[in-house]
């Protein structure tokens, strides 16, 4: 099965914003955050069904060392990431992006 991963526009904007915020606070921290996101994406692509499906059909991968997670859904051969979400803030804001 060949799956490809795509970020929803809002999720990509959030990724850019959070990366910039971390980098502005501590040089190199934004780079570390981005590396964790890349590792999370690699895990999702290689093992998309590893993480439990939640009510609503979405799954999530925590980003080690950061209070964020990648929410994703699998639609045929597409893995859509509708959110790079903070684990403790506004937990449902992104769910309107679910297909």
Question: How many domains, the chain?
Answer: 1
Please write the tens of the pLDDT for every residue from 14-72: 999 999 999 999 999 999 999 999 999 999 999 999 999 999 899 999 999 999 999 99
Query: Of 88, 85, 99, nearest to 10 (Cα)?
Result: 85
**pLDDT range class, residue 97, cuts 50, 70, 90:** confident
Domain that holds residue 42: 4-97
Q: For residue 33, what are the contacts with CB-CB under 8 A and spacing of at least 6? A: 18, 19, 22, 63, 66, 68
| CA quadruple 9, 63, 90, 77: dihedral sign | positive
Orientation angle between helical segments 29-46 and 9-25, nearest 10 degrees: 150
Structure tokens given for 61: 């991968």
């Amino acid at each position: 099965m060949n799956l490809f991963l795509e970020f929803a526009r809002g999720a990509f904007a959030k990724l850019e914003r959070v990366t910039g915020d971390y980098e502005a606070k501590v040089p190199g921290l934004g780079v570390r955050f981005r590396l964790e996101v890349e590792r999370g994406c690699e895990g999702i692509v290689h093992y998309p069904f590893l993480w439990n499906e939640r009510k609503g059909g979405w799954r999530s991968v925590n980003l080690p060392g950061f209070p964020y997670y990648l929410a994703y859904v699998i639609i045929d051969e597409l893995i859509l990431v509708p959110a790079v979400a903070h684990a403790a803030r506004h937990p449902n804001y992104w769910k309107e992006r679910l297909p």
